[in-house]
Amino acid sequence: MKTILYFCILFFGVLPALEGEAGVLEQVEKELVELADRVRPAVVSLSPYIAKGAVGQGLPNKGRPANAGAGAIYNAEKGLVVTNSHVVRNVEKIKVTLKGGREIIGEVLGADEDTDLAVVHIESDLPLTEVKFGDSSKIRIGQLVVAVGNPYGLNDTTTFGIISGLKRENINLSRYEDFIQTDASINPGNSGGPLLNIKGEVIGINTAIINYAQSIGFSIPSNMVKHIVKQLVEHGEVHRGWLGVGIDPVSEEVAKRTNGQEGVGVIINSVFEGDPAHQAGLKIGDIILKIGGAEINSPNSMIRVIGAITPGQTINLDILRKGKHKIMPVKLESRKKRTTQLATLPPTMIPSGLGFTVMDMEKGSQQPGGVLVSEVTPESSAASMGLQSGDLIMAANGESVKSRHEFDRIVGGVRKGSSIFLLVWRNDEKFHLGLVREN
């Protein structure tokens, strides 16, 4: 503890004149070198394997393009590597370069765009080194961390910093956001590499940086990584729970009207007929406070909690209805099953009624994820509120929108005369827009 304290003082440039300070620094240096030597062999470089027939039938092309990145070997015996899904997007095979330069062609076992995680399988005649995963629920702001990756093709790069934030959401990098924020230097090519504590345990997988800011990088917590990787290895995809409601944050106005507290829970603004919430008796105006004992304080936190629950499982929802607390059991369905059912409906059967139409963005678009407004009906409420053709809808009723089918599904759960709240992107700026479904 004393060693780490001295090193923190040095890191911020205010080390006082202390007896034996050289010995302390030498010990810190030795420990950091040993940590790097122990971990670096388990960090690999990843790049698309370009060969005839290797590219084409890959993963969906949306969001960030495939690029060179990093990965961490988390199971040496089985040859399993965890990385970001955007690193392996649109490829079935990928070139894996180990420390020392040895190359292996790996196969993508599965990828989850909603969390930006993927698993690659490699076969090696020589023993591999694996990383040890820690418990991300125990990390705290201010902890020292080390990031390892391959920024700008500079393999085997190690950087140092602290955890500068936790539970970061609304970054619009993925659907299920619960990021660790760090000031350890993370650059393009670090994607998929590990974020480590001072014990050398992986507490996160680096995923992105904010391009217009310095020293702001994000990592996916190790506990989420372990949950997603387990499903990708077993099923090749992730099975998530589905509740079937539209939700909004609890604003000051809503809190006064419902005897609730601002920022505590989420309020239901729509219930999808026939879905689990409807079958369990949830109603518009109910405020969801807890799900399975986990506190809910934002739409993103609820989406994340529901998505982590296995379909078919019954959970208890703590709700506030007309000022009174109730506990309601709900049996969740599969989100994938529900989305697939809606996607098979003919376009003429999918509900609209908002006064505008949308379309999917073209593949390879550099715009952030969402759907494009293709046409706005004159004299509609959408037109009167200023919605324009070419606007990008990123979220509806607090739920991220990745495709037209997802948008149609959300709108389909909004009754005539009920409100829907949109997050719109125009000219590099975001704004919220509330509309009423007209028919």
pLDDT of 250 strictly over 60: yes
Break the chain into its structural domains and give their ranges: 2-40, 43-236, 241-336, 345-436
pLDDT (tens digit per residue) in 383-406: 777 888 888 998 888 788 888 878
Q: What is the pLDDT of residue 154?
A: 61
pLDDT of 151 strictly over 80: no
Over residues 205-214, the mean pLDDT reads 70
pLDDT of 45 strictly over 80: yes
Alpha carbons 380 and 383: distance in angstroms, whole number: 5
Element spanning 248, H or E: strand 245-249
pLDDT of 326 strictly over 90: yes
How many C-beta neighbours within 10 Å does residue 349 have? 10
What's the topology of domain 241-336?
Pdz3 Domain (2.30.42)
Asked whether 30 and 12 are in contact (CB, 8 A), the reply is no
pLDDT (tens digit per residue) in 215-234: 678 889 999 999 999 989 98
Element spanning 229, H or E: helix 222-235
Q: What is the pLDDT of residue 201?
A: 92
Select the more confidently predicted residue: 177 or 139.
139
Over residues 273-299, the mean pLDDT reads 88
Pick from 115-124, 181-190, 351-360 the range whose average pLDDT is largest: 115-124
Average pLDDT of the chain is: 79
Select the more confidently predicted residue: 16 or 183.
183
Asked whether 330 and 243 are in contact (CB, 8 A), the reply is yes
Asked whether 237 and 228 are in contact (CB, 8 A), the reply is no
Q: Compute, in degrees rounded to 10, the torsion defined by CA atoms 245, 248, 254, 258.
A: 30
How many C-beta neighbours within 10 Å does residue 66 have? 21
CATH architecture observed for domain 345-436: Roll (2.30)
pLDDT (tens digit per residue) in 79-124: 999 998 888 887 878 889 888 888 899 999 988 888 889 999 999 8
| Secondary-structure class of domain 43-236 per CATH | mainly beta
pLDDT of 247 strictly over 90: no
What percent of the chain is modeled with pLDDT above 70?
A: 80
Token readout for 213 is: 């800011």
The dihedrals phi and psi of 129, each to the nearest 5 degrees, come to -105, 135
**In which band, very low, low, confident or very high, does the pLDDT at 61 lie, cut at 50, 70 and 90?**
very low
Active site residues: 86, 116, 191
Topology agreement, domain 43-236 and domain 345-436: no
Q: What is the pLDDT of residue 157?
A: 78
